[in-house]
Amino acid sequence: MHIHGLYVHPVKSLRPISVQSAKITAIGLEYDRVFLLQKQDGAAYKLLTIGRFPQLSLFHTSFGGEGENILIVRYSPPQGESKELRIPLRPHTSGLVTREIVMHSSACMGYDMGDGFSEFFSACLGFPTRLVYLGSSRRPVIGNVAPMEQPGANSCSLLGRKKVEISFADIAPIMITSMASFRCVDDMIGEEMDVTKFRPNMVVSSEDGEEVAQWEEDFWGELLVGHDKRINLTANCARCNSINVDYATGGLVPADKQPFKKLMKDRRVDPGMKYSPVFGRYGIFPDIPASGLYFSVGEKVVVSKRNSQRSELCISNRCN
């Protein structure tokens, strides 16, 4: 196989940036999910996700500036004029208000970017919104997503797992999908779907003349990228209705074209998340040198480890 596409999501739940190469850090692709948006209601703050706020799909992102050190956010509604905001990718955090950010029972401190940046999103969305920056903060990976220190232990055990940290990504540093399985979803809904609705970081595809079976990635345990870059695949990605978003309107696609409903029929294959369909695999980087790693579109990808059965995702404190 080879890397078919690489995607960076600088602001959680906004449209991603397709890149030809990406630096890999211990917490994921560089600049991936380093910002998020919160809806402010008095003293309360609610995380904005595309599944609950589909209008977030109307925000496009791109890199710009000298040395591409600027994030450009463009709001393009179906009617009306587009608006644009420029955000430093590495803003100074001195003097910024901090606030605890909790996602999937995993917490870190985030930096409120202040009124100047937040007012842009408030005006576009129609309600008070705050832009939050990750900075040097890190969230701990919870549950059984992190690899075991001693291989071969109970896959659902939460004890003896390596320390893994992440950004504002849901539960792992990287999420990987295959084009073979994606085309299966196209067949389900009867038309071509935008692969970025699945929010992947990496999409892999078979080499010319060879075929990868649909849903084969369910059993992938490890990928080797290039000659020596390894990704441990430790958990399935359980899906929500975010994949039903209509990117053109900022609403939802018609009921008969909603991929979530189609996947619910036969893709509830993870007993740990039995009420959610599975599409894609979460990955961990076992060895990251101080200089970082780089992935590029077109690089060779080999399945270096296969599991005999599907893994079971467990992110509850009640697990063993």
For β-strands 83-88 and 28-29, DSSP reports them as unpaired
Only one residue has tokens 């599991």, namely 307
pLDDT at 270: 95
Name the residue ranges covered by the structural domains of the chain: 2-26+142-147+164-306, 35-140
Q: Are 279 and 310 in contact (CB under 8 A)?
A: no
**What does the CA dihedral 142, 147, 151, 156 come to, rounded to 10 degrees?**
30
Burial of 51 (0-12, 13-18, 19+ CB in 10 A): middle
Q: How many CB atoms lie under 10 A from the CB of residue 155?
A: 17
The CATH number of the domain covering residues in 2-26+142-147+164-306 = 2.40.33
pLDDT computed for residue 147 by the predictor: 86
Residue 317's pLDDT is what? 47
One DSSP character per residue, 149-201 reads SSTTS-TT--TTBPP-EESSSSSSSEEEEEHHHHHHHHHHHTS---GGGG--S
Query: How many whole angstroms from its chain centre is CA 296?
Result: 18
What pLDDT score was predicted for residue 143? 87
CA distance linking residue 302 with residue 288, whole number of Å: 19
Q: Which two tokens stand for residue 222?
A: 């490890």
pTM: 0.94
| Spatial separation of the C-alpha atoms in residues 95 and 92, rounded to whole Å | 8
pLDDT tens for the 320 residues of the chain, in order: 999 999 999 999 999 999 999 999 989 999 999 999 999 999 999 999 999 999 999 999 999 987 779 999 999 999 989 999 999 999 999 999 999 999 999 999 999 999 999 999 999 999 999 999 999 999 999 888 988 876 665 666 667 788 899 999 999 999 999 999 999 999 999 999 999 999 999 999 987 656 678 899 999 999 999 988 999 999 999 999 999 999 999 999 999 999 999 999 999 999 999 899 999 999 999 988 877 799 999 999 999 999 999 999 987 644 44
Asked if 278 and 238 touch (Cβ cutoff 8 Å), the reply is yes
Is residue 81 helix, strand or coil?
A: coil
How far CA 52 is from CA of 67, 96, 190, 263, 281, in Å, comes to: 35, 28, 25, 19, 23
